[in-house]
């Protein structure tokens, strides 16, 4: 007992005391940030489904740093930096979240499961009714995905890192995870955390952007639909054939992103083929289970040692910039359609091209209804919203394939 | 190839592929000959007229229900009062 250091009994506190002050303060800061995320999730300010497991994970992992048998600091949750196969096999039997991380997270499987779930929720009938305008708006709402790259390079990131953080402009969490895993593996944890934090904020921030860029006179504009025009009722079989054809074409073009395309269109195919039980499984247990573990693992990965990267501040700035530019690009697209359709279009719909399904479409309808309760823009907004998912997947495919070729 | 040129090419390719997808959407919706609803000549009723129409349908449905009850169940006259108050 003479050599026993009493402080070592409470190793969470002991490791705080013996750590580098920057690490120690970061750990304390992250514990409080985690608690704040749980609180904001509970209040509904941020997405609770993601923020509650993520916040608790973040707080817990930074509290439970301990001394490992070899004298280094570590934890019993997960070690994401393992590369040696023997060590990995050992850790799979020790760290309780290591199997989920190794077998679902680091290979992008969890992102594909989430994408499958999103696919099963998408009704592509909205795009089939106005395919060109929906895809055009989605393209315009990718402005942040393109324009953030030169800004990020000017701020000191390399091209692959710049492309990964620019994907936040596509506002699609699984896509950011998948792209950063392929292009900037060393930064994928902070980039994905930044992405998911900001995606929760689009619901709160975009209404202000709409109010700022679209005057009330145009914001309340209802789209006049010609009663003499034939309305096509899109059959489920049409949607199924569409999913099959587009999936095959996109996979032919970008085999690197084929797991994402396959997952998205598989979800759509299951939805439209009437496989009720499988659809219920994909859009229920699979989607919610994957989202839960995604949030939990993201939180667990927010350990101070892993997250303390000098580039994190840059990523925070660039992430919000990417979403802002995409929002502006979407509204610019809305204005272009407004002029092309000779005033019979609501420019606010453009922001729904930012593919945060279905948040941005709901935000648009909500803002339009505040000015004109009789205006119905939700079908057009959902068309642009769903097109946004497809466009972001196309850009992810292009980035993963072409960015490594650029110098 | 410079980064700027590369990004321009990627943006251009994204636009072309997006429009290709839109074209496939459009072509498929034509090829599969969907059911069509033509709204030509259909007059949208005014809200009050629609309200009256709905009320009339409710009344007709009640009347039908009442007749079935009366004839099939052979209800006594006092039960008829209960039926009204249900």
Query: What are A135-148's pLDDT values in tens digits?
Result: 999 999 999 999 99
CA dihedral A320, A322, A326, A329 (to 10 degrees): 110
Q: Based on the domain organization, do B70 and B47 belong to the same domain?
A: yes
- Write out pLDDT tens, residues A102-136: 898 888 888 889 889 988 988 887 887 788 999 99
By CA distance, what is A131's nearest residue in B? B22
Q: Based on the domain organization, do B5 and B24 belong to the same domain?
A: yes
Total structural domains within chain B: 2
pLDDT averaged over every residue in chain B: 71
Chain position carrying tokens 């321009």: B8
Q: How many Å lie between the alpha carbon of B39 and the closest alpha carbon of chain A?
A: 6
**Interface A-B: count of C-beta contacts within 8 A:** 112
Q: Based on the domain organization, do B50 and B31 belong to the same domain?
A: no
Interface of chain B toward chain A, CB-CB under 8 angstroms: 1-4, 6-7, 9-11, 13-15, 17-26, 28-29, 32, 34-40, 42, 44
- Write out pLDDT tens, residues B26-55: 887 676 554 555 555 555 656 677 778 888
**Which chain A residues in 115-154 lie under 8 Å from chain B, judged by CB atoms?**
124, 127-128, 131-132, 134-136, 138-139, 142, 146, 149-150, 153
Nearest residue to A290 via CA among A319, A267, A316, A307: A267
pLDDT at A358: 76
Output DSSP code: residue A73.
E
Q: Based on the domain organization, do B28 and B6 belong to the same domain?
A: yes
CB A399 within 8 A of CB B13: no
Q: Based on the domain organization, do B61 and B73 belong to the same domain?
A: yes
Q: Based on the domain organization, do B57 and B72 belong to the same domain?
A: yes
CA A319/CA A145 separation, integer angstroms: 10
Q: Based on the domain organization, do B28 and B56 belong to the same domain?
A: no
Nearest residue to A72 via CA among A121, A15, A153, A152: A15
Q: Based on the domain organization, do B25 and B43 belong to the same domain?
A: no
Name the pTM for this structure. 0.76
Indicate whether B85 pLDDT > 50.
no
Residue B43: its chain A contacts at CB < 8 A? none
**Which chain A residues in 242-261 lie under 8 Å from chain B, judged by CB atoms?**
242, 245-246, 249-250, 253
Contact yes or no for B18 and A399 at CB 8 A: no
pLDDT averaged over every residue in chain A: 86
ipTM score over 0.95, yes or no? no
Q: How many Å lie between the alpha carbon of A237 and the closest alpha carbon of chain B?
A: 8
C-alpha A33: how far from its chain's center? 20
> In which domain, by residue range, is B71 found?
38-86
Residue A167: its chain B contacts at CB < 8 A? none
Chain position carrying tokens 């942040």: A144
Alpha helices by DSSP H, chain B? 3-31, 47-73, 77-85
Residue A237: its chain B contacts at CB < 8 A? 32
Cβ-nearest to A132 among B3, B6, B22: B22
Indicate whether B86 pLDDT > 50.
no
Return the domain boundaries, chain A: 107-192+200-288+310-405
């Amino acid at each position: 007992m003479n050599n026993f250091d009493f402080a070592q009994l409470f190793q969470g506190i002991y490791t705080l005391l013996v750590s580098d002050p920057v690490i120690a303060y970061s750990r304390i800061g992250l514990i409080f940030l985690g608690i704040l995320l749980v609180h904001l999730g509970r209040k509904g300010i941020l997405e609770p489904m993601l923020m509650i497991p993520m916040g608790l994970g973040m707080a817990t992992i930074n509290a439970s740093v301990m001394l490992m048998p070899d004298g280094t600091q570590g934890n019993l949750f997960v070690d994401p930096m393992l590369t040696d196969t023997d060590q990995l096999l050992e850790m799979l039997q020790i760290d309780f979240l290591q199997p989920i991380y190794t077998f679902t997270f680091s290979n992008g499987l969890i992102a594909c499961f989430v994408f499958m779930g999103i696919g099963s929720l998408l009704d592509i009938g909205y795009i089939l009714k106005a395919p060109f305008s929906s895809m055009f708006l989605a393209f315009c709402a990718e402005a942040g995905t393109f324009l953030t790259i030169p800004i990020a390079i000017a701020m000191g990131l390399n091209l692959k890192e710049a492309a990964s953080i620019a994907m936040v402009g596509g506002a699609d969490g699984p896509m950011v995870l998948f792209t950063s895993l392929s292009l900037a593996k060393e930064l994928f944890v902070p980039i994905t955390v930044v992405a998911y934090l900001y995606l929760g904020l689009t619901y709160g921030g975009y209404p202000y952007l709409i109010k700022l860029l679209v005057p009330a006179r145009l914001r309340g504009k209802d789209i006049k639909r010609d009663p003499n025009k034939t309305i096509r009722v899109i059959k489920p079989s049409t949607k199924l054939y569409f999913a099959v054809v587009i999936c095959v074409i996109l996979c032919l073009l970008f085999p690197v992103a084929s797991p994402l395309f396959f997952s998205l269109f598989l979800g759509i195919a299951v939805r439209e083929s009437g496989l009720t039980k499988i659809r219920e499984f994909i859009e229920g247990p699979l989607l919610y289970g994957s989202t839960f573990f995604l949030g939990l693992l993201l939180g667990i990965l927010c350990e101070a040692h892993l997250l303390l990267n000098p580039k994190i501040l840059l990523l925070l700035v660039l992430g919000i910039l990417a979403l802002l530019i995409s929002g502006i690009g979407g509204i610019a697209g809305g204005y272009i359609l407004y002029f092309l359709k000779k005033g019979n279009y609501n420019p606010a719909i453009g922001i729904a091209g930012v593919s945060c399904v279905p948040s941005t479409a709901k935000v648009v309808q909500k803002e339009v209804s505040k000015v004109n309760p009789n205006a119905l823009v939700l079908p057009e907004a959902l068309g642009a919203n769903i097109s946004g998912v497809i466009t972001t997947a196309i850009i992810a495919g292009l980035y993963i394939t072409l960015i490594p070729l650029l110098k | 190839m410079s980064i700027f040129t590369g990004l321009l090419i990627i943006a251009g390719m994204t636009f072309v592929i997006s429009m290709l997808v839109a074209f496939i959407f459009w072509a498929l919706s034509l090829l599969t000959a969907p059911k069509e609803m033509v709204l030509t000549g259909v007059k949208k009723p005014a809200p009050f007229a629609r309200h009256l129409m709905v009320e009339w349908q409710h009344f007709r449905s009640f009347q039908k229900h009442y007749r079935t009850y009366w004839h099939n169940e052979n209800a006594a006259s006092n039960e008829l009062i209960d039926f009204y108050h249900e």
